[in-house]
């Protein structure tokens, strides 16, 4: 294929990793980014567009001859950006608004799974109009249970109450707006035991290819304690997803999603993120996301070999070219998120960051997430600030190198988990 110009939308560590892989792709020409971050904008050109005014994106794509738009985060996908761009003949890697409901509405996703026989936890959906029924339901089931705000909540809308009292008050908090409109509906589901893994399937509506399985660390503190976050670190490949488990995931989860979405008239194009609970040979879906996961992507793409631009482009045209992938896992990788103390609730920003250059080498990359330039200096500007991602021959090697990188980096209020990857060493 001819080289194409690409526009990537997003500003996190995920988009930094995707940008790096795209800019290293043979099929990519000029890479543009919006809004980007200081790390992304070292390898991409800033695109002067406004997400809330889609005509600015359409005009930009036409003027710059953009062959592909890659949308990183869930919000623009669930707002229907793909539908608007495609209506103007602009190619996108990402699902349309209907298919994006697999992430933007947990009740939609649960009903979809039930309809297409995809294994998941038993559940019931409630809206705030039938609050009493929801409380009665809690009283009728055994703990532990899981309460999930229906809408997008940045990975923070899921709680696992320890007592019935907590369950009732957490439900009240959701219904009274703790997560804004996202909590107008709540899914109450059975608690699943097992080990978690994330699988990314690059989908073209009919067919797909999976990338290296990864394991995220969602809780804020070591030993999986503390509140849920967007993710504090990851490693890949996660060996818990062996060949047999992968076949189960393909047959029981990914293929039924693709078939189901086709039947609903909205073929799924983009990255289908399957968040899974694995116990023995049983796989259940915890959640779907309709985009790459962060920080898992930083691991998955740092060990990927191939032409990512070609893979995305061919998938966007519903003709996935699997030969664009040479190797999904040339080694192991480990990512440690450097966050601001207080994340995922409140934290201070604006502290100077040093040591990135020293941390980086041929095996280690520091991806930027919550950063900005202030008075010529790189400063912290978010809950998750950086992701230090290293590769190694073994998982232990990748972990060691990631933490060697972490040791080089300083900013006030730095906070990170010390046990990333440990679960995979068994």
Question: Using CB distances below 5 to 8 A depending on partner kind, what does residue 289 bind out of ligand AMP, ligand GLY, none?
Answer: ligand GLY
Q: What is the largest distance, in Å, between two alpha-carbon atoms of the chain?
A: 61
Q: What is the Cα–Cα distance from 160 to 115, expressed in whole angstroms?
A: 26
Contact region with ligand AMP (CB under 6 A), list: 90-98, 191-199, 296-304, 356-364: 191-199
Q: Which two tokens stand for residue 86?
A: 């495609």
> From CA 64, how far away is CA 70, in angstroms rounded?
15
Q: Give CA–CA dist 29/22, Å, rounded.
A: 9
> Which of ligand AMP, ligand GLY, none sits in contact with 196, Cβ below 5 to 8 A by type?
ligand AMP
Single out the segment in contact with ligand GLY by CB under 6 A; choices: 92-100, 118-126, 235-243, 287-295. 287-295
Contacted by 231, from ligand GLY, ligand AMP, none: CB < 5 to 8 Å by type: ligand GLY
Angle at 336 between CA 332 and CA 342, to 5 degrees: 160
- The reply to whether 296 sits near ligand GLY by the rule CB under 6 A is yes
CA separation for the pair 72, 33 (Å, rounded)? 11
If one asks whether residue 363 binds ligand AMP (CB under 6 A), the answer comes out as no
* Residue 389 touching ligand GLY (CB under 6 A): no
Binding segment for ligand GLY (CB under 6 A), chosen from 135-143, 169-177, 253-261, 290-298, is: 290-298
Q: Which stretch binds ligand AMP (CB under 6 A): 18-26, 186-194, 260-268, 388-396?
A: 186-194
| H or E, element range at 15 | helix 13-23
**C-alpha distances out from residue 176 to 126, 131, 169, 183, 314, Å:** 14, 11, 10, 8, 44
Regarding 125 and contact with ligand AMP (CB under 6 A), the answer is no
Chain positions 285 to 324 lying near ligand AMP, rule: CB under 6 A, are 286-287
On whether the CB atoms of residues 38 and 372 are closer than 8 A, the answer is: yes
Find the shortest distance in angstroms from Cβ 286 to ligand AMP: 5
Q: State in angstroms the smallest separation of the CB of 285 from ligand AMP.
A: 9
Q: Does 230 bind ligand GLY (CB under 6 A)?
A: yes
List Cβ neighbours of 413 (8 Å cut-off, separation of 6 or more): 340, 341, 342, 347, 348, 351, 380
Q: What is the rounded CA–CA span in Å between residue 131 and residue 163?
A: 19
Q: How many CA atoms does the CB half-sphere of 351 hold within 13 Å? A: 19
Nearer to ligand GLY, 74 or 363 (CB): 74
Q: Does 213 bind ligand GLY (CB under 6 A)?
A: no
296 binds, among ligand AMP, ligand GLY, none (CB under 5 to 8 A by kind): ligand GLY
Quick note: the x/- pattern for ligand GLY over 145-164, rule CB under 6 A, is ----------x---------
Q: Count CB atoms within 10 A of the CB of residue 394.
A: 11
DSSP state of 217: -
End-to-end CA separation in angstroms for the chain: 43
Choice from 72, 183, 231, 405 touching ligand GLY (CB under 6 A): 231
Least Å distance, CB 352 to ligand GLY, is 27
Q: Which residues bind ligand AMP (CB under 6 A)?
A: 121, 146, 148, 155, 158, 189, 191-192, 196, 218, 228, 275, 286-287
Q: Which residue ranges make up the site for ligand GLY (CB under 6 A)?
A: 155, 216, 230-231, 289, 293-294, 296
């Amino acid at each position: 294929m001819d080289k194409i110009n690409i526009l990537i939308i997003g500003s996190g560590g995920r988009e930094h990793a995707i940008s790096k892989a795209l800019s290293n792709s043979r099929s990519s020409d000029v890479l543009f980014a919006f809004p980007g971050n200081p790390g992304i904008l070292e390898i991409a050109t800033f695109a002067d567009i406004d997400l809330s005014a889609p005509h600015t994106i359409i005009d930009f794509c036409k003027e710059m001859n953009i062959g592909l738009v890659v949308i990183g985060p869930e919000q623009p996908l669930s707002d229907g950006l793909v539908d608007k761009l495609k209506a103007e003949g602009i190619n996108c890697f990402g699902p349309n608004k209907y298919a994006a409901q697999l992430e933007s509405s947990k009740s939609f996703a649960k009903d979809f799974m039930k309809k297409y026989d995809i294994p998941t936890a038993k559940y019931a959906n409630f809206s705030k109009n039938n609050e009493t029924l929801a409380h009665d339901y809690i009283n009728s089931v055994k703990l532990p249970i899981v309460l999930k705000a229906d809408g997008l909540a940045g990975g923070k809308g899921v709680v696992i109450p320890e007592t019935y009292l907590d369950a009732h008050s957490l439900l009240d908090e959701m219904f009274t707006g703790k997560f804004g409109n996202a909590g107008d509906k709540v899914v109450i589901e059975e608690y699943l035991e097992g080990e978690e893994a994330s699988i990314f399937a690059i989908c073209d509506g009919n067919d797909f290819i999976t990338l290296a399985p990864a394991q995220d660390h969602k809780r804020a503190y070591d030993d999986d304690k503390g509140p849920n976050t967007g993710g504090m670190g990851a490693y890949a490949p996660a060996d818990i997803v062996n060949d047999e488990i992968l076949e189960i995931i393909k047959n029981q989860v990914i293929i039924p999603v693709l078939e189901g979405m086709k039947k609903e008239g909205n073929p799924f194009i983009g990255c289908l993120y399957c968040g899974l609970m694995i116990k023995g040979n049983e796989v259940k879906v915890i959640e779907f996301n309709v985009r790459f996961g962060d920080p898992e992507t930083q691991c998955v793409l740092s060990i990927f070999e191939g032409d990512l631009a070609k893979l995305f482009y061919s998938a966007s045209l519903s003709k996935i070219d699997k030969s664009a992938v040479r190797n999904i896992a040339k080694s192991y990788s480990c990512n440690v998120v450097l966050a601001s103390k207080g994340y995922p609730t409140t934290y201070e920003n604006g502290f100077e960051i040093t040591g990135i250059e020293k941390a980086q080498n041929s095996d280690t990359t520091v991806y930027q997430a919550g950063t900005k330039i202030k008075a010529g200096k790189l400063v912290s500007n978010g809950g998750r600030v950086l992701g230090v991602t290293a590769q190694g021959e073994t998982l232990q090697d990748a972990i060691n190198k990631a933490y060697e990188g972490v040791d080089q980096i300083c900013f006030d209020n730095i906070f990170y988990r010390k046990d990333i990857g440990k679960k995979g060493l068994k």
